[in-house]
Amino acid sequence: MALREIMEKSLEEDHFSSHTHEVDLFAQRITAPGSGEHRVPERYDLDRCALLMVNPHRLFFYWEISGATKHTLGMEEESVMRLCVMRGEERVECAEVRGDVGSYYLAVHEPFSSLHAVLFWTGSDGITRTVLRSKKVTSHHGRYRHGEWWMDKNGTELLKASLPAEDVGSSGKMVSSIGLHVSKENR
């Protein structure tokens, strides 16, 4: 039985219910699967960025700049921008980047620091403007505790901190030392 026939049958006097009218309206609005073209856009033309810690010494920055922001600032296609990792107002590390969508890895060693990234653009008038600013991340201290494990996203053990006897000082504190852990199956 076709959808239309089901709807007409449900509207007959002996099959009528309070929800039938809503079902009929919904059935009129939908289209059959596969009819028409449904595409997911490559991006949604929004301003957004993210700063993520890859490990204690490496950061990852991702950005998207909307067409409206580019128009407002007077930016052209493939404008050169300056990506800077900041500790407060101090620039820690900077790099030149291009494009309204992109990503970049930065090597940064700033233990126990609150860091954020800023994407700057200098216009033809010589004025430098902030295009995007990330949220803050707190960097890792870069030292490893005895027995600490680092794993990949699947739970595979990558690194295990080890404490060789010569690295223990008179205070009993560990001098940062790390050994590569290889599982028995992969030896």
CA 152, 158, 161, 164: dihedral to nearest 10 degrees?
180
Supply the pLDDT for residue 98.
94
pLDDT tens-digit map of 25-50: 666 666 566 666 767 777 688 999 99
Max CA separation in the chain (angstroms)? 93
Decide: 138 and 114 in contact? Cβ < 8 Å.
yes
Model pTM score: 0.56
Q: What is the mean pLDDT of residues 141-164?
A: 61
pLDDT tens-digit map of 44-101: 889 999 999 888 788 999 999 999 999 999 998 888 999 999 999 999 999 999 999 9
Q: In what order do the strands lie in the sheet with 101-107?
A: 48-55, 58-64, 101-107
**CA atoms of 38 and 112, how far apart (whole Å):** 47
Report all structural domains of the chain as residue ranges with CATH numbers, in order of start. 1-31 (no CATH), 48-138 (2.60.40.10), 149-186 (no CATH)
Supply the pLDDT for residue 162.
52
